[in-house]
């Protein structure tokens, strides 16, 4: 979703902000803009639609916008079409044309998120003589700040606080006030925003990669807190306007981790980083030959008490929950349910007495997942977050946190974070099973051995990527693809199908193989690609039969199974073999060829695989 950056210091702001926006491109956007001011001068606003490149060209790489203080934005349209007028920054005054140029306005700002009651606020402001030039909720919030600023004349912090009290929704805001040159004000609620400072500058952004070249010391402001940025100084305020102290967090990952390092795309780089992501996540959960979750507060006593697990998440993270459901029930014999966060949050939920609700999220900011977490907490349910981004809202609010150690994930489609999430789920399942006496010490040791063998097995699969590349190119113009599997293989199929459609824009569906006959099989035509996932030996034959039914109706069959299951070649036209592991852990291996298939299909179709159309990396609106 939208990306925000801000800088105030001694250097020219525009090139720094453009660089920062470039590092946030992965979040998804359809227009971009900057507001820069030079000392006491008025802010100059420049906006453009489409790729950031056009803003870079329009401003001659920032050279036409002199000034050492500014804010920037990439917009992912929610209210109002992607146009120059609707692009940010927005201003409190009246604006003609597309809103670019020198602005007289009192307040200039950028916003990420959604203001839910913007219609009501707009009506109020209209009654007070404000006029609106755009269709955005952002213009409303900027004008509301201006209204309070002029009404009470108590300065920016007071005006922002009064606005925060009136506004409903989620937001990260960065604002400049005409009377306060060299200063930027920021506030957030349920949308990501980080701040950093050096000896002569301070800066803000929606995510760490945007500021990592300037500082590793990052501040996370809480909901309804305000930050004031001056060159070399950061001040924080609570909702009463009282100054508060925040401690910085040190970012340990290398700035290079957020660069392509010779790979053509972030996605393929991140696919290759999976052995490391899995190894690092395992390393954080296993020590001295034992799983140790105590740092998260999930002690053996806590685990012994749990008799019901509910996963909730969105998209790929929900697929991890789906795999988790099979694994927990199989390994730990604990009743488990998995729910889409967007459904869970609005339905009547009957919590169980000894329930553990697990929210899985790479970003830790997904609006629906956050809402689901809050709902569970409000019902007194114990919550665990499996999160990749340190300091994110979901990590902050859950009772327990297990961090995945995937490093920064830049490509919009998740790969390495998904793999790291699986590991956290496996470790939890093994420990629950052991603590609750469902497995003995021997089985426990075997599981740990299988887990530690996963990174090398993933590496081995990656070594054979050329075969998938060839196959993906052959089917790049496919109209439809069906992914089928039973049980845990069904959860893998869901992820394979999502990867295919989001990256290559080919329509695809995942089906529990036994369901095909109940309708979907009518869609099979000559040469329709059906990809069968067959990692579970107990149901191998059943899925093979379902695939054969498709073949009899003209389908082209690809099978994905482990070495040794060569009989599949009697039915399949093309087979991909992966190493064997414990059946519970096979998703970690089987997903890799499917990620590669999605990636290479998109590349073969000449698509922007790192930033598929209409998608955003961090979905901070519902
Ligand atoms: C798909 C993908 C999305 C995310 C989903 C949840 O490749 O990346 O489906 O998994 O938007 O995001 P997080 O994990 O940040 O909550």
The first and second tokens of residue 151, run together, are 């009404």
Instruction: Quote the CA–CA distance of 586 and 584 in Å, as a whole number.
Output: 6
Q: Is the CB of 306 under 6 A from ligand 1?
A: no
Q: In the CATH hierarchy, which top-level class contains the domain 464-622?
A: alpha beta
The three-state secondary structure class of 51 is: coil
Measured in Å, residue 318 CA sits from the centre of ligand 1 at 8
Nearest to 392 by CA among 622, 77, 620, 72: 620
Distance (Å) from CA 362 to ligand 1 centroid: 7
Domain 260-462: CATH class, spelled out = alpha beta
Q: 3-state DSSP call for residue 247? A: coil
For the CA of 362, the nearest atom of ligand 1:
14
Ligand 1 in reach of 361 Cβ (< 6 A):
yes
Is 362 near ligand 1, meaning CB less than 6 Å away? yes
- Answer yes or no: 617 catalytic: yes
Q: Which CATH number does 3-255 carry? A: 3.60.20.10
Residue 460 Cα to ligand 1 midpoint, Å, equals 26
Q: Please say whether the beta carbons of 77 and 33 come within 8 A.
A: no
What are the domain boundaries of the chain? 3-255, 260-462, 464-622
192 touches ligand 1 (CB under 6 Å) = no
Q: How close is the Cα of 420 to the center of ligand 1, in Å?
A: 13
Residue to probe by mutation, ligand 1, list 190, 206, 265, 315, most atoms within 8 Å of CB: 315
Which of 414, 422, 602 gets mutated to test ligand 1 (max ligand atoms within 8 A of its CB)? 414
CB 314 near ligand 1, within 6 Å: yes
Distance CA 226, CA 139 (A): 19
DSSP 138-202: HHHHHHHHHHHHHHH---HHHHHHHHHHH--EEEEEEEEETTSTT-EEEEEESS--EEEE-SS-E
- Is the CB–ligand 1 distance for residue 421 below 6 Å? no
Residue with CA nearest ligand 1 atom 1: 413
Whether residue 496 has its Cβ less than 6 Å from ligand 1: no
Closest ligand 1 atom to Cα of 499: 7
- The alpha carbon of 236 and the centre of ligand 1 are apart by a number of angstroms equal to 31
pLDDT of residue 140: 96
From the first residue on, what is the mean pLDDT of each consecutive set of 10 residues in the chain (622 residues)?
A: 93 97 85 92 89 92 95 87 88 73 87 91 96 92 97 96 93 96 95 92 93 90 94 95 92 75 91 97 94 92 97 98 98 97 96 96 94 97 95 92 93 97 98 97 97 97 94 91 97 98 94 90 92 96 94 95 96 97 98 97 93 81 76
Question: How high is the pLDDT of residue 99?
Answer: 62
Q: Which pLDDT value is given to residue 26?
A: 78
Residue 312 CB–ligand 1 contact under 6 Å: no
Q: Which residue CA neighbors atom 10 of ligand 1 most closely?
A: 316
Write down the catalytic residue from 2, 95, 203, 314: 2
260-462 matches 3-255 in CATH topology:
no
Q: How many CB atoms lie within 10 A of CB 387?
A: 29
Stretch (H or E) spanning 362: none
Give, in order, the Cα–Cα distances in Å from 451 to each of 147, 362, 420.
58, 21, 12
Distance CA 578, CA 583 (A): 12
Q: How far is the CA of 55 from the centre of ligand 1 (A)?
A: 28
Q: How far is the CA of 512 from the centre of ligand 1 (A)?
A: 22
What pairing do the DSSP bridges indicate for beta strands 400-403 and 355-361? unpaired
Distance from the Cα of residue 69 to its chain's centroid: 29
Answer whether 316 contacts ligand 1 (Cβ < 6 A). yes
3-state helix, strand, coil in the chain (%, to 5): 40, 25, 35
Question: Cis omega (within 30 of 0) on the bond before 377?
Answer: no
Annotated catalytic residue within 143, 228, 499, 617:
617
Contacts of 420 (CB under 8 A, 6+ apart): 277, 278, 280, 281, 388, 404, 405, 406
Distance CA(496)–CA(512), nearest Å, equals 13
Residue 2 falls in the annotated catalytic set: yes
The reply to whether ligand 1 has any atom less than 6 angstroms from the CB of 413 is yes
Is the distance from the beta carbon of residue 363 to the nearest atom of ligand 1 less than 6 Å? yes
H/E segment holding residue 286: strand 286-287
User: Can you tell me which atom of ligand 1 is nearest the CA of 417?
Assistant: 14
Residues 6+ apart with CB under 8 A from 315: 414, 498
On whether the pTM is more than 0.75, the answer is: yes
Helices 416-435 and 274-285: crossing angle in degrees, nearest 10, is: 30
Q: Is any atom of ligand 1 closer than 6 Å to the C-beta of 16?
A: no
pLDDT at 611: 87
Q: How far is the CA of 543 from the centre of ligand 1 (A)?
A: 28
- Helices of type H across 463-483: 465-474
Substitution candidate for ligand 1 out of 26, 76, 342, 362 with most atoms within 8 A of CB: 362
Query: What angle, rounded to 10 degrees, do the helices at 587-604 and 488-504 form?
Result: 20
Q: Which tokens is 50 given?
A: 């489409």
Q: Cα(583)–Cα(431) distance, rounded to whole angstroms?
A: 17
Ligand 1 center to residue 611 CA distance, Å?
13
Q: Is the CB of 616 under 6 A from ligand 1?
A: no
């Amino acid at each position: 979703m939208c990306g925000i950056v801000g800088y105030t210091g001694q250097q020219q702001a525009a090139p720094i902000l453009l660089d920062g926006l470039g590092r946030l491109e992965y979040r998804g956007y359809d227009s971009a803009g900057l507001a820069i001011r030079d000392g006491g001068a008025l802010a100059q606003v420049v906006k453009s639609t489409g790729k950031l490149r056009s803003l870079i060209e329009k401003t001659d790489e920032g050279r036409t916008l002199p000034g050492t203080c500014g804010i920037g934005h990439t917009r992912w349209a929610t209210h109002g079409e992607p146009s120059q007028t609707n692009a940010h920054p927005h201003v409190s005054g009246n604006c003609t044309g597309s809103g670019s140029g020198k602005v007289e306005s009192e307040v200039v700002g950028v916003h990420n998120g959604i203001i839910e009651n913007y219609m009501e606020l707009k009506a109020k402001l209209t009654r007070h003589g404000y006029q609106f030039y755009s269709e955005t909720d952002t213009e409303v919030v900027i004008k509301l700040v201006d209204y309070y600023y002029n009404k009470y004349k108590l300065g920016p912090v007071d005006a922002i606080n009064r606005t925060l009290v009136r506004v409903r929704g989620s937001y990260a805001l960065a604002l400049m006030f005409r009377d306060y040159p060299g200063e930027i004000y920021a506030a957030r609620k349920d949308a990501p925003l980080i701040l950093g400072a050096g000896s002569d500058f301070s800066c803000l952004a929606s995510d760490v990669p945007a500021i990592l070249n300037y500082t590793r010391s990052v501040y996370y402001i809480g909901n309804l807190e305000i930050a004031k940025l001056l060159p070399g100084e950061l001040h924080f305020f609570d909702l009463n306007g009282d100054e508060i102290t925040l401690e910085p967090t040190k970012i340990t990952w290398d700035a290079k981790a957020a660069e392509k390092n010779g790979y053509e795309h972030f996605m393929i780089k991140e696919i290759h980083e999976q052995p490391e992501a899995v190894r690092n996540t395992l390393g954080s959960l296993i020590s001295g030959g034992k799983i140790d979750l105590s740092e998260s507060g999930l002690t053996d006593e806590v685990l012994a008490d749990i008799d019901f697990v509910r996963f909730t998440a969105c998209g790929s993270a929900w697929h991890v929950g789906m795999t988790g459901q099979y694994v927990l029930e199989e390994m730990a014999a604990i009743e488990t349910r998995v729910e889409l966060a967007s459904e869970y949050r609005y339905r009547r939920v009957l919590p169980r007495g000894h329930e553990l609700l697990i929210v899985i999220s790479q970003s830790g900011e997904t609006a629906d997942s956050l809402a689901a977490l809050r709902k569970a907490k409000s019902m007194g349910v114990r919550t665990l977050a499996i999160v990749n981004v340190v300091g994110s809202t979901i990590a902050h609010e859950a009772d327990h946190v297990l961090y995945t150690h995937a490093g920064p994930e830049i490509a919009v489609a998740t790969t390495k974070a998904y793999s790291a999430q699986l590991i956290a789920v496996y470790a939890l399942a093994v420990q629950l099973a052991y603590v609750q006496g469902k497995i003995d010490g021997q089985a426990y040791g075997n599981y740990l051995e299988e887990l530690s063998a996963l990174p090398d097995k993933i590496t081995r699969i990656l070594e054979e990527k050329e075969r998938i590349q060839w196959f993906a190119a052959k089917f790049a113009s496919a109209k439809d693809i069906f992914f089928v599997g039973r049980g845990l293989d069904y959860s893998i199929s869901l992820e394979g199908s999502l990867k295919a459609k989001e990256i290559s824009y080919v329509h695809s569906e995942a089906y529990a193989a036994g369901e095909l006959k109940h309708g979907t099989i009518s869609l099979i035509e000559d040469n329709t690609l059906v990809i069968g996932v067959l990692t579970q030996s107990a149901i191998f034959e059943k899925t093979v039969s379902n695939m054969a039914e498709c073949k009899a109706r003209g389908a082209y069959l690809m099978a994905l199974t482990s070495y040794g299951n060569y009989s599949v070649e009697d039915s399949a036209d093309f087979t991909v073999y992966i190493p064997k592991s414990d059946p519970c852990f096979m998703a970690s291996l089987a997903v890799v060829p499917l990620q590669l298939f999605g990636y290479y299909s998109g590349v073969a179709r000449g698509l922007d695989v790192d930033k598929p159309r209409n998608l955003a990396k961090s979905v901070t609106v519902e």
